[in-house]
Amino acid sequence: MRVTLEIVSGPQSGRKLVVRSGYSAQVGRTEWADFAFPDDNQMSSVHFMVECGQQACLIRDLHSTNGTRVNGRVISESILNDQDRIDAGQTCFVAYVEDAVPSGSPDPRATQVLAPPAATRPAGPSIAIQPAAEPPEAVPLLREASPLRRTTLTDVPVSAGPAGGRVVLERIDGPCEKQNVALLSGQVVRVGRTEWAELASPLDGEMSSLHFAVEYDRGVCRLRDLNSTNGTFVNGNRVTETVLADGDKIRAGQTTLVLHIEGGGVLRSASPTSAAACFRAAMADEDPAVRREALWAAVWTRQPWLREHCRTLCAKASPEHWGAILMLAILGRPQDLPQILAIGRAAELGPRRFEVLGAYGHPAPVAVLLQAMAGDDAEAAVAAAAAFKKITGVSVDSDRHVPSPPEALGESEAVQPGPPHEVVLPDPRRAKAHWDRVKAEVSQWTRSCCGLEMKGKASEDTLAQLDMQSRWEAICREQFEGTCSRSLVELEAMRIP
Amino acid sequence: MTNRRDDSPDPVTPSRLHPLTLSPSHPVTPGRPPGVIPEVYAKHLEEFAFLWGQRQAALRSPDYMLSDVARLEERLAAHRDGLLLAGEAAIPALEAVMAGEDPQAVSAAAYILLSLKIPKAAERVVEALLRAEAEKLEALRQPLCHGPIDLIEKPLRDAAESAPAPAAVTALEALAFHHRPDPAVDRLVEYVQDKNPQVRRTAWHIMATLNSAGSRDAN
């Protein structure tokens, strides 16, 4: 048996892909797939799979975003018949199945397809696809062998070359026994439930057949979720794609893995214990500027303990821990609302407590801000109006001015350019009127910034609408969650030639 | 930079501009390229220093948008281009400004010295780095990060290797910012525990710089 997929429309129209009996192939947009369609932006990274057995061919959607259709019908799994039309993204295929079981024969699934896919896959190379010799017009789009290679620690030479070290993915917990897989620069390893994965966890029922992939290239280690059903989590945060750091914990299904990056990198050369000790000492540093810089370093190095550390200090509600309090507001999750609200109501922290509410961006504390704007304390009213603007994007200045207040707290996060000699008091009625207009919609959000819902990774368009402080905070949040592809240098560097 | 219509002598030492007055001991006039007016040069430098401070403060400010920062940078570029026209003749004056106390002026002068891309100009910045302490050192951090360092990479690496901790960590930061991390980064673990809080602070900033995603891309 053999199936030929002829591309009848789409970016690679006219080409043919062949999968022979006993083999399978994945089709998708990225190089994770065996047949890659990089120009089809509506195709998922790994979109569908074709398995060609002895008596039947099976097509299986791999949790694609836009679905796989066979003869116009969305399928999750289906027998592939001769001349079936397959739609995936912008690409349309026609399947030509040769030596198919004639119509009326017993359902081939009963005898073949119901068997685990692995049963049809020969031992040997990790990607077992053969370009067909026939038909002659078929153009194999196969990569020259797969870059994927099953490797073990013993496979890896001691000298790792100029790329600097190797990466070891260690399975530390889950239904399957502990196992290590090492990658050198240029290698990729896929983790999943089936033996299609280079690191397979067949006993983990919550893991997808191909769950995520880790690629190591020139010192950078990237993880991509392969449209898994239950998601991939790095240090507790769900990710689709992220750059990994040494010590990152990855959870997929019931399985936990830890990444070790050997050689290169700051603090990687230090033992985990000494790195933790450095951070611990810095968090207790007598100089608030050192504490603040170490907190940002903890964000950019994605220290897994950071959020919990901030929660602990936030509970003390002391101006001494202002940096950590503000950091919790920036990184906090919806469940931190009660603690953040308590800070917003702690009058002993002064007007700057409203800055925390602004950075957190949750709509619930807006009532506290409205109350402060209507109060007698001018300094508090001004701070509350700034937080209101940060959340809603609307300035509610009145025509009343008061002398500029002195610095409320010494540990300022941002020096304001050109401090004004007087400040403008807000108009609480304008603020309330605006809030009444938008409240119904914004109250559905968990974080609002400049009137925009902040959910997941912010688009470039969204970032361009944020003020520089909010933009910085949003990017830091993404960095901490592992979804940021920017560097600190990129954010700070001048953009002039 | 303004081009003069005649070749008449210029006043040598403008003194009305504070703190960017060109030093009387380093007059611009002798050897200056035709058309350079010291008052105008000083004004450009003063504006550059002011905008430099504005830009640094704007980077995390709620009062600025990215487009505002871009406009600040365009203005900085315009003043910089004017200042660079003076070429080598401006080195003594810039060196004098860099020896002053005003942090923004020090930053501006150091940045222009590096941007001249003349070896002896760039070397002055390294010399200043090796002599600097406390606030002066702080003022030199940003120009070393944002200015071109090709001409001083070797002395910066030497400084990272063997200079006292405050200068070494500043040199390391510049190298890291330019995606040229030095093997001496291994000493960061020591620097984050240094007795000098300025060293500790800079070391933590380098940690963040080196460990952010794009930096790893560049390594």
Per residue, the 3-state secondary structure of chain A, as one string, reads CEEEEEEEECCCCCCEEEEECCEEEEEECCCCCCEECCCCCCCCCCCEEEEECCCCEEEEECCCCCCEEECCEEECEEEECCCCEEEECCEEEEEEEECCCCCCCCCHHHHHHCCCHHHHCCCCCCCCCCCCCCCCCCCCCCCCCCCECCCCHHHCCCCCCCCCCCEEEEEEECCCCCEEEEECCCEEEEEECCCCCCEECCCCCCCCCCCEEEEEECCEEEEEECCCCCCEEECCEEECEEECCCCCEEEECCEEEEEEECCCCCCCCCCHHHHHHHHHHHHCCCCHHHHHHHHHHHHHCCCCCHHHHHHHHHHHCCHHHHHHHHHHHHHCCHHHHHHHHHHHHCHHHCCCHHHHHHHHCCCCCHHHHHHHHCCCCHHHHHHHHHHHHHHHCCCCEEEEEEECCCCCCCCCCCCCCCCCCEEEEECHHHHHHHHHHHHHHHCCCCCEECCEECCCCCCHHHHHCCEHHHHHHHHHHHHHHCCCCCCHHHHHCCCCC
A438 in reach of chain B (CB within 8 A): no
The yes-or-no verdict on residue B147 having pLDDT over 60 is: yes
User: Average pLDDT, stretch A376-401?
Assistant: 93
Over the Cα atoms of chain A, what is R_g?
28
Residue A473 to chain B, least CA–CA distance (Å):
9
Determine, for residues A496 and B74 on separate chains, whether the beta-carbon distance falls below 8 Å.
Answer: yes
Determine, for residues B188 and A267 on separate chains, whether the beta-carbon distance falls below 8 Å.
Answer: yes
Distance CA A169, CA A197 (A): 13
B84 in reach of chain A (CB within 8 A): no
Nearest to B150 by CA among B170, B189, B179: B179
Residue type, B38: P
Residue A203 to chain B, least CA–CA distance (Å):
34
Confidence of residue B155 (pLDDT cuts 50, 70, 90): very high
- Average predicted confidence (pLDDT) for chain A: 78
The label of the residue with tokens 């005003």 reads: B102
Res A25: pLDDT = 79
Residue type, A218: R
Confidence of residue A138 (pLDDT cuts 50, 70, 90): very low
**CB-CB neighbors (< 8 A) of B210 in chain A:** 265-266
Residue A329 is encoded by which pair of tokens? 């507001």
Range from A4-18, A81-95, A445-459 carrying the lowest mean pLDDT: A4-18
Highest mean pLDDT among A59-68, A177-186, A261-270, A408-417: A59-68
**CB-CB neighbors (< 8 A) of A495 in chain B:** 70, 73
**CB-CB neighbors (< 8 A) of B191 in chain A:** none
Q: What percent of chain A has pLDDT over 70?
A: 78
B62 in reach of chain A (CB within 8 A): yes
Res A409: pLDDT = 40
Determine, for residues A282 and B216 on separate chains, whether the beta-carbon distance falls below 8 Å.
Answer: no
Nearest to A473 by CA among B218, B72, B59, B142: B59
The yes-or-no verdict on residue A28 having pLDDT over 90 is: no
Res A218: pLDDT = 54
Nearest to A43 by CA among A32, A56, A59: A32
pTM exceeding 0.80: no
**Residues A170 and A258: beta-carbon distance below 8 Å:** yes
B146 in reach of chain A (CB within 8 A): yes
Range from A72-86, A346-360, B148-162 carrying the lowest mean pLDDT: A72-86
**CB-CB neighbors (< 8 A) of B189 in chain A:** 267, 269-270, 274-275, 278
Helix (H, G, I), strand (E, B) or coil at B65: strand
Distance CA B54, CA B73 (A): 10
- Average predicted confidence (pLDDT) for chain B: 83
A376 in reach of chain B (CB within 8 A): no
Residue A481 is encoded by which pair of tokens? 């969650």
